[in-house]
Amino acid sequence: MEYEHVRDVDPAVADALAGEVERQRDTLAMIASENHASRAVLEAQGSVFTNKYAEGYPGARYYAGCEYADEIESLAIERAKDLWGAEHVNVQPHSGTQANMGVYLAVLEPGDRILSLELEHGGHLSHGHPANFAGKLFDVEHYRVDPETGYVDYEGLAETADEFDPDMIVSGFSAYPREVEWERVQAVADAVDAYHMADMAHITGLVASGVHDSPVGVADFVTGSTHKTIRAGRGGIILTSEEHASDVDSAVFPGAQGGPLMHNIAGKAVGFREALQPEFDEYARQVVENAKALGEAFVDHGLSLVSGGTDTHLVLVDLRDSHPDLTGGDAEESLESTGIVLNANTVPGETRSAFNPSGIRAGTAALTARGFDAEATREVGDLICRVVDAPDDESVLDDVSARVDDLCSEFTLYE
């Protein structure tokens, strides 16, 4: 990762690239949507496929010279089918959000109704936030988590669906630490004659390995990101039945995108092959085990967890009980100064601005990719709590920073 060709042409960009390599090596990535792709995936994503236009689909392109593009995309599709057991897969969406867009455009009309999890209760912008295209194009209502338990209020979801009469119900999350009960959502969708789109962006890898129940074969449509817990090339994916295959493909291209990013699809293909190996199943199990250890460390230090724990790769901390004067943004800033990188996050019943909310979200996918086990992850939890308890104490920050340096040297990255 010397970037010698970039340096010959553009030293400023080369410096930034080298700086990012060092930043990732020397910090602990705990943003729940981030991971460390393998060198093989990075090579594929940085390949000559960035030069190739391949509008259309394998065997039906609008440009010549697509024989290897067809091969790469077909490999990605077949491997995705093997991973998730889907009848039809579209690997062209540039992101999870554009995968969601592809589904919406496939079966909805502007003004149709979407029912989804509220953002501050763990949902995602693309599920219908007013600032997002989905909130601008569609009539959106939200369901929520139970304020007492932190779990999705499935009874409330059913009641809201009965009143709102949505055309589509969206399940899945951006910051929800528990397993989603896909069948319960599907039962509600059936009762109100709505489509069900399951957004598994955060848990694609956990679903592929069987450590989280799969929505494939339950929901009408399943979308996801391919660079979070699955560790493949950066982008999105749609899985559905043959019944909806043509509508989905047409909605992605030409409906929402032009030429696919073939270099990203190459990265997806390589990452999917890695995920089909037995070692990946052990990785996914360790991700969840590490998240549980992280949550236990937080609880032992007196922090409050939304839902009391986690079933997935992420832990959501509500700081209001234990540290009422500390915002998530301030905690994020102090932690980053020590080399621990996570993000401020809204929590159910949020009373502060989304720009400086009351919670922090931490994930274990990237730590696990570096080789962290439960014991090492628990130590990271202890370090986080030391900073949260004394975010302005320079001696504490220095001590934690030194230990983070030790951990980064012990669990190396891209060496």
pLDDT tens digits for range 236-251:
999 999 999 999 999 9
Rounded Cα distance between 82 and 377, Å, is 31
Q: Residue 156: count other Cβ atoms within 10 Å of its Cβ.
A: 13
Domains and CATH numbers, the chain: 43-275 (3.40.640.10), 282-410 (3.90.1150.10)
The DSSP-derived string for 268-302 is HHHHHHHHTSHHHHHHHHHHHHHHHHHHHHHHHTT
Amino acid identity of 97? T
71-119: per-residue pLDDT in tens? 999 999 999 999 999 999 999 999 999 999 999 999 999 999 999 999 8
CB 380, CB 372: distance < 8 Å: yes
115-146: per-residue pLDDT in tens? 999 988 888 989 989 999 999 999 999 999 99
Q: Is the pLDDT of residue 415 over 90?
A: no
Mean pLDDT value of segment 259-283:
98
141-195: per-residue pLDDT in tens? 999 999 899 999 999 999 999 999 999 999 999 899 999 999 999 999 999 999 9
Q: What is the pLDDT of residue 215?
A: 97
CB 198, CB 171: distance < 8 Å: yes
Among 17, 98, 26, residue whose Cα is nearest residue 404:
26
pTM, rounded to two decimals: 0.96
Q: What is the pLDDT of residue 138?
A: 96
Rounded Cα distance between 366 and 30, Å, is 7
Rounded Cα distance between 127 and 117, Å, is 7
377-391: per-residue pLDDT in tens? 999 999 999 999 999
Q: What is the pLDDT of residue 283?
A: 98
Q: Name every residue whose Cβ is closer than 8 Å to that of residue 37 and which is 6 or more positions away in sequence.
A: 45, 227, 231, 232, 233, 234, 267, 271
Q: Are strands 343-345 and 359-363 parallel, antiparallel or unpaired?
A: antiparallel
Rounded Cα distance between 112 and 140, Å, is 8
